[in-house]
Amino acid sequence: MSPATPQRRWNRRSLKPAARRGAVAVEFAAVAPLLLAVIVGLVELSRVYSVQNCLETAAREGARFAALDRSGMMLGGKTANQKLIDDVKNYLASNNINPDKVTVKVTAADNPDHEFNLDDRANDMQLFQVRVEVPYSDVSYTPVSDANDYTLNSALTFRNGRAVVAN
């Protein structure tokens, strides 16, 4: 064997890792945008799931308030509907959802266009619905165009728990 033979083997071996490094860089450049899109999509999807869960919990807690005996729970001059709406918005605010962007409605269960008055004695033991809505663009981590915006909402039907007890 001549002393040049090991030199050639060394040169051939040293060329392979350099060529492979270039291929890895090209592969990464091709895959990185897709990987980044998947990661951002997963973050947004988890945000939607989290906000939807908060809306459902807020609606449930608001409706639960109406099922209770509310005597002594109201501040002066505040109606049960106002307290329910304020409680729902306060819960959402504690979960970093802007309460000014949230819409809360208390409607009759059989007619969502008709407002339900929790304080009206005629509505005792009647079904009502609490609907909580927020635009997706107001809770998204990324910008949302008007054309792609939609509303996240939750609705829960409950019974107005006030009842007249007869002696």
The pLDDT tens digits for 136-150 are 999 988 888 888 889
Does position 45 have pLDDT exceeding 60, yes or no?
Answer: yes
pLDDT digit string (tens) for 68-94?
766 667 777 788 889 899 999 999 999
3-state secondary structure of 133: strand
Phi, psi of 115 (to 5 degrees): -70, 140
Beta bridge partners of 106: 130
Choice between 5 and 54, residue whose per-residue pLDDT is larger: 54
Element (H, E) at 71: none
What residue spans define the domains of the chain? Answer: 4-159
What is the mean pLDDT of the segment spanning 37-41?
94
Contact criterion met (CB below 8 Å) for 137 and 151:
no
Kindly indicate the confidence band of residue 17, based on its pLDDT and cuts at 50, 70 and 90: low
